[in-house]
Every structure is written in structure tokens, then in C-alpha cells.
Structure 1
């Protein structure tokens, strides 16, 4: 493993020259060269919170770290690669996702205490598991992760945050596999964090991260986690098909307030609707397409700009073919 900051490679969009052909479908790596699950035309709608969208050309669920490194190394940057966590902050477009979607499962979901109030977390570990492990270990400062639906890999990539805290405040370093298969350890400074953004390249997969807390009382930590959970329940449409906060908060204002002021609360397009409960959430009322959801978001942006001259930026990630 190298500790240096890498020169980011730019992934190509072609097919690896040594691909196998299975059932008439060109596989991205030779048959039998991986131990995990590699599925062609894999449905993604069931894996994302909106429950919409097309399939992945290929879905790879690695058996372990070595399996993932071998797979990405064999790809050699020849195909686009996208990591998928819980699918909570994501619109998968109806045409599906080109290249390979990597989904980190149980082998990447562990959380362990390292001492000095540090947790090492797998890229597939959920925010609830991380915050609960921190509570049990008497580590404070990570309670806000209880309020973010997602996994560590997504938190690190997007500088996830809630309730006045963000990942940039607690990350020490992370282990990342680059599109060509190289495993590197990056300190937090190399990620050049800003609001909901990092300098990680497309196709890089975060496989683990070290998070720094401070000593705390488990009872007090648990009480704060309960407060956060209740605040989410009271204010957000958690029991619907949604994607979390839709737009970034502009400087000095709140996205929900601007959406509300523009008269968009409850606005519908096809099967998509702006939540009546929280105006910065879009929901699938039951039969929405991804095009409905994204189109509704663009209409909200248009109306907000007409009302306030502020162009909202998407916080939800939109991926794949229209």
C-alpha cells in the first residue's frame, strides 16, 4: 500500500480486450477470474431508495478486498466504475448504468475500535452501525452519522453531514482502490473537502476509513442519537420512497425554505412529488420513473430561480443513461 497522493487516472469507456463472452454478453474480465458475484444487466431499482431506474451493465459484489483489487486491476480503467452503497441519495436513470457497479457487502461492513477514540470502518458499514459502535465504546462526536442514511464509502466521497457536523470533521484517512486496482491510503487533507464534495476521482472505491472521536459517556451519546433519530422521524418523509435531501443548502439559506417560497411543496410530475412533510425531499408516490423524479427536480430548480434568482444545486447524485 502506498501513502502517497496518486495522480488520478481518467477511466476510459471501452471494453477490456481480454474479456470473456458468456451467453453472448461480453464480460468485463475473464471467466472464473473473480470469486464474488458478477451479474450482467442487474436490476438496480430494488437497491435504491427511490425504487426506480434501469439495470447496471454489470453488478460486481466482491468476496473480499483482494477480490475487488484483482477485479479492478483486470479492468485496468477500461470501463466506468461506480460504487453503490445503500442507494439512499441516488437517482439511477431509466436507461441504466454503463460499465460496472460495485456493491460492497458484508465483507466490507465491519467496524472496530483501534484505541484513542478511533474507529476503523469498512466502506460498506452503515451510519447506524458506526454510531452505535461508537456509543458502545464510549466514543463521542460521531452521533450525527445516525442521521445520515448511507454507508461509510458514500459519506467519505460526498463529505456527508447532518446536524452541524460533517465527515471532514472526523475523518483521519481512508483506503481507496483506484480504477486501475491500486490500493492507496489518503489522509483527509488529500480529499480537499468542500460542502458535499471531495476530490476523489470517478471510479475510485472507498474500502475503509478511520474516524476520530473523543471520549464520552455512552448514556449521553445514546441520548443524542435518540434525539437525532426522533428529529428525522418528525421532520422527514422516512416512510416513503425518497432519496434524502434533494438540493444543497445555498450560502446563508435553506433549500427547503426556497422550495416552499416558490410554491413547490406538494408539486407533482407523473408519479413523483415534492414531499408535503419536507419541501427538500422528492418522493416516488408509487409509479414514478426516474425521469419523473429528475424532471420534477429540474422544474423545482426553475421555479426557485424565477422566484428568488437562486439556482439550487443538486445534492442527490444522478447517474446513468437518460
Structure 2
């Protein structure tokens, strides 16, 4: 048990969420790799989260993880406090007219389903994104012709000092797979707007998105989704393929033969294997095309000690 937990409990005796020392994170990521969190905090609700952040020493690092779908946790684990949102306070979805309010822990696929059931068009693209609302906000997630910037009304969060904050769509500073909100803001929920549509047609579009994803992506593998963002005017997978990286391996990690912008854990891979393979792909693409691919997968934590 880390001493940090005792410090946190003494500083915030009213906490209602769970604090776990040396918590296993590998089982929480789709790659199934990575070291432990020094302290894992699952807050009861936004007020509980704010209460911890308000008393936390500014020198203690805070990291937020979601569903673990677009994430590499390095083998040495994550120092400080790792926040993982869950439960009813962060996992609820409510439709009101043409708007949908969702907690940050709501899977994107569930957001799409809730909108479809209410005959709201415009959010079906979330069916093809294997993450949560919090991640979608942070990276302006998109697929199949839609992006978060197209449907977001506002986002709520808590900043590093424990203050509740709200951002309008314009205030998010969205660009391709990025938002300009400070990294230390933890998103807690968001309001989206759809438009009236035909439920059957929307559900048919979602089925099309699902079929296209299953046909083209290695979704049955231990993977982290799209590894690199598409460069301006191009496709990352085409550059990777042209650089001869399809099927390339390092340790237990491999560039997917099915879709070469996906890395997979074939079994026994370490986080270092996966990240190292990704860097080798970037090196070969840079040598063959001059393009410096940008990681879309988040890489967090510290490397294992030698």
C-alpha cells in the first residue's frame, strides 16, 4: 500500500470514491499491457473528484484514463494519482428533445445507440469509435464522416484546482484529433445535439458502420485502435504499407496484417514492445515518405526500470 493513499485520506476524509494502491492497469487496457497505478481513484461523482483535486498537492501528478481502448500504459506504471471515472454519476445518458446528455464514462457506442433510439440523427458515427465520451472530447474523436466538433454543444469538467468548468463548442478549440482544453482538465460529461431523423434509417447506418469496421479492422485482437493520425491530405495506413511495415513485429507486438494502422498484442507483448514497434514504423515512414506520423494513441506512465 502506497503512503500516498494515507496522505490523501488524511487530507480528504470525506471522500466517497475508491482509492486503490498499486492498482493493476493492464487489465483495464485493450492492449492488456502496462504497469500499476501508484494510486487509482474512482470518484463517486464530480463533487467527489473536485474534493480530491482541491486538496491534492500540486506536485503530485494526475492522470486520467477511460475505457483503455486508445491507450498504452508503460511498463513502469503511472506515478501519482490515476483517475478512472465510472458508475452512475459518470455513466448515464439522458435524451431531452434534440439533445443528449452523457457522462464522460459512457461508451461512444452507447451514446450512438441512445440517439438512434430517440430518432436523433447525426451521432451514428460514434458507433464506430471504441472509446468513451471523455476520450471523444479530448481528441475530437470521429469516424465515417462525422466528428465530435459537429455535434457537441458543451462539455463539463473539473480543473486541477477542483473547480467546475464548462466549455462551449467554440471554447474547446477543436482541430483534427485534438482539443485545446488544458490537459489537466478532467472531463465529466457533455451535451450533444442531434437532428430529427428516421430511427430505422439511423440504425441501418449504424449497422453499416459496424459491418465496415468488422471487415477492415482487427477488432477481435488486443489492439488500441488507430495508432497514428492521418497526415494532411493522406492516409497513415497507406504510408505504413508503402514503408513495408505490414506484419512487422517486435517481441509480442505486431503491425496488423489486416489494417496496418493498428498495432496488436499477439500474446506476451510488453508496453515497450508495442511503443517501440510504433516508433520503428514512424522511422521507416519518415525515411520513405518524409512524413512524420503523429501518435493518435495516448502513451502514459514511465518505462520499466532496467
Please tell me the TM-score bracket, short chain as reference.
Answer: over 0.9
**C-alpha deviation, 1:78, in angstroms:** 3.7
Unaligned runs of 5+ in 1: 1-22
Return the match for 1:111 from 80, 87, 93. 93
**2: distance between equivalents of 1:294 and 1:221?**
37
**In structure 2, what is the Cα distance between the partners aligned to 1:182 and 1:35?**
18
Range that drifts further, 155-164 or 23-32: 23-32
Query: 1:277 maps to which residue?
Result: 258
Answer 1 or 2: which has greater helix percent.
Answer: 2
How far does residue 76 in structure 1 lie from its aligned partner after superposition? 5.4
For residue 24 of structure 1, report the CA deviation from its aligned partner. Answer: 6.1
Cα contact 1:82–1:202 (8 A) shared by 2: no
**Hey, what does 2:9 align to over in structure 1?**
30
Cα distance in 1 for partners of 2:57, 2:188 equals: 18
TM-score (norm 2): 0.95
Q: Does structure 2 retain, via aligned residues, the 8 Å contact 1:76–1:180?
A: no
Q: Is the 8 A contact 2:2 2:21 kept in 1?
A: no
Q: Deviations over 1:190-234 (max 9, x none)?
A: 111111111122221111100111101110000000000111100
Query: 1:296-311 counterparts in 2 under 5 A?
Result: 296-311=277-292
Aligned match of 1:57: 38
- For residue 202 of structure 2, give the secondary structure of its aligned residue in structure 1: helix
Matched, 1:240 2:218: no
Q: Verify the 8 A CA contact 1:247 1:313 in the aligned structure 2.
A: yes
Q: Measure, in 1, the Cα distance between the counterparts of 2:79 and 2:142.
A: 29
Shift of 1:30: 2.7
1:3 corresponds to? none
The residue number in structure 2 matching 1:15 is none
Distance 1:24 1:156, change over 3 A: closer
Note the aligned Cα RMSD (angstroms): 1.1
**Partner SS for 1:300:** helix
For 1:268 and 1:123, the matched residues in 2 are separated by 35
d(CA) in 2 for partners of 1:76 and 1:112? 35
2: CA distance between counterparts of 1:34 and 1:317?
A: 29
What is the distance in 2 between the residues matched to 1:77 and 1:223? 49
Q: Tell me the residue number matched to 1:140.
A: 121
TM-score by length of 1: 0.91
Aligned length, in residue pairs:
299
- For the pair 1:216 / 2:197, whether they are aligned, the reply is yes
Aligned-partner Cα distance in 2 for 1:171–1:248: 21
Given that 1:242 and 1:281 are in contact with CA atoms closer than 8 Å, whether structure 2 keeps it comes out as yes
Asked if 1:191 corresponds to 2:144, the answer is no
Flag as ranges the 4+ runs of structure 1 deviating above 6 A: none
Q: Which deviates more, 79-88 or 230-239?
A: 79-88
Deviates more, 1:66-75 or 1:173-182: 66-75
Distance in 2, matches of 1:267 and 1:205, equals 36
The reply to whether residue 89 of structure 1 matches residue 67 of structure 2 is: no
Distance 1:308 1:153 in 2: 34
What does 1:43-54 correspond to in 2, within 5 Å?
43-54=24-35
Shift of 1:100: 1.1
- Structure 2: runs of 5+ lacking an equivalent: none
